[in-house]
Amino acid sequence: MTPRAAAWIRPLIVIAAVAALALVFVAYTQPSLMQHLADQLWACF
């Protein structure tokens, strides 16, 4: 891998991680979504 290509990998990983954390935060601010996911998980057992 070239140094130029390697220089792009770390920022992309950081951006992807921040985006995933932001999506999780938004999901937790909607109680109905969390209740729906909990009900789906509970239905598995």
* Cβ(28)–Cβ(34) below 8 Å: yes
- Return the pLDDT at 34: 83
* pTM of structure: 0.60
Q: Averaging pLDDT over each range in 1-5, 7-11, 18-22, which range is the top one?
A: 18-22
Distance, in Å, from the CA atom of 33 to the CA atom of 23, rounded to the nearest integer, reads: 12
pLDDT band at 30 (very low <50, low <70, confident <90, very high): confident
- Return the pLDDT at 39: 95
pLDDT band at 7 (very low <50, low <70, confident <90, very high): confident
